[in-house]
A and B are shown apart, each in its own frame.
Chain A
């Protein structure tokens, strides 16, 4: 065992792993984190605690992860390269390990311009850091854990033992470089991978076939990404604007149908689309889990954590495995 985390245990047991996502609030409201943690507890093996996603200032991943941990939900802290140099990153990793965190997902992080892309003012004029990139960050975590050394070479009397994760955008552009992109993260030391949201299962399977050929599925645990859609509009937006996500027309048509079935009743339209989105997600979970080389799913119900329980149960993934301490 590298970290002894629950997520690592589930993966080692050979059962399909389930991770979810918890987005911390844009204020000091710790209760919001606790509420979401209660909604997710028991329905996933670990939950990602996002690190200022879309570059919006929120409760930090480490702090929110500790709040989740106290509620009995195993967190996957996230660490982006956007906001910290290697000094701050390593200091935070040491602190996180000392606080009992065992999983860390390494990310480049959304560029700071995203923070003002929606209705928020954000901080588009912030200076980004990118002292190291994701591959290098994965390597730093591995060196700290396995060699007991800081990036600069100084010795760690007590090494932080993280289960190391990275993201992967299998259908990202340019698509033919993506298997090599994954290879580099695995070579750097990624124990598990969470993919960008998958809707185009055929294309995903074609990419996974290459990964299996390269033997990467044996060297890392790949969890396929499921983004639970809430509406036809959301699916269309993801198809047109989210990098590395393409949504087949048939899925958009299905959501449109659900919307149209409600006629002019807006409330009903929302309910029908949400129900269809959950149904669609369950189908995708099965298709992803049946894909050769896949070890689990990463289900993101963005600002909709309460949906996870129903999805996981309906997908036949409940109860989650339990291990003696």
Chain B
């Protein structure tokens, strides 16, 4: 899932204080699981902003609402009319949601209430850990299921470097060395010898370095187009 963390109220306040009617708009999928931007958090932020407005003597109306997902149009289409009542939407979705909504709200700005952090998992309640970097060219079969792109602070493909210290990364005693984990895991799997092969320089064009990325599924698009045509012709018969 996408993990985010809430921006500070001070930062949010600086963004919104010039507006009159603000909607704190939550997303109830990934960012709700990591307690950053679901409806509950949207409500809390709205309350805090109203209090701040009262303290500073500013006349700002702050409401909140949410939808299940900000990243598919069908989820927020039912509330689009409602959104038009505001002069600012503070989205607490991830950056995907902020972008996607912003492309559809015309003259109403959409600001971020959350810092989108990474693709991660819930390690334990309240602890989220980055496990994938979305590099577009997965090599987890070569590294014992542990990603050096996401989890090595130098994204080394032929690690470890000389900075491993008692299983920890040179950047901090609190950060596991990904290559230490890879080696230990591959020992258990009996596949350590695979690491002797030199991984060549990567083609980063599948990653962010290739510019904005897109995945297009021809068969799904063809199916949708066919369905739409059928509906049209069925409608025509009536």
- Indicate whether A and B interact: yes
Residues of A at the B interface (CB closer than 8 Å) are 81-82, 86, 108-111, 113-114, 128, 130-136, 139-140, 151, 167-169, 172-174, 176-177, 180-181, 183-184, 187-188, 196, 241-244
CB distance from A297 to the nearest CB of B (A): 18
Max chain A Cβ within 10 angstroms of own Cβ: one of B162, B164, B171: B162
Q: Would B165 and A243 count as touching, CB distance under 8 A? A: yes
Binary contact track B162-174/A, C-beta < 8 Å → 1, others 0: 1111110011100
A113 to B173, CA, bound (A): 13
Known A109-B154, A131-B202, A172-B160; further 7 A-B contacts with Cβ < 8 A = A108-B162, A111-B163, A132-B201, A133-B157, A168-B162, A187-B198, A243-B164
Q: Could you list some 28 contacts between A and B, CB below 8 A? A: A86-B201, A110-B163, A110-B170, A111-B163, A111-B171, A130-B156, A131-B202, A131-B204, A132-B201, A132-B202, A133-B154, A135-B158, A135-B199, A136-B200, A169-B162, A172-B160, A172-B164, A173-B160, A173-B166, A173-B167, A173-B180, A174-B167, A174-B180, A176-B183, A177-B192, A180-B195, A188-B198, A244-B165
Q: Would B183 and A177 count as touching, CB distance under 8 A? A: yes
One of B155, B163, B200 near A130 (C-beta < 8 A): B155
SS of B interface (majority): loop
* Residue B153, interface by CB 8 Å: yes
Max chain B Cβ within 10 angstroms of own Cβ: one of A135, A140, A167: A135
* Residue B184, interface by CB 8 Å: yes
A130 to B165, CA, bound (A): 20
With an 8 Å Cβ cutoff, the count of chain B residues facing the other chain is: 31
A134 to B199, CA, bound (A): 11
**B167 nearest in chain A by CB position:** A173
One of B156, B157, B160 near A177 (C-beta < 8 A): B160
Q: Would A136 and B154 count as touching, CB distance under 8 A? A: no
**A243 nearest in chain B by CB position:** B165
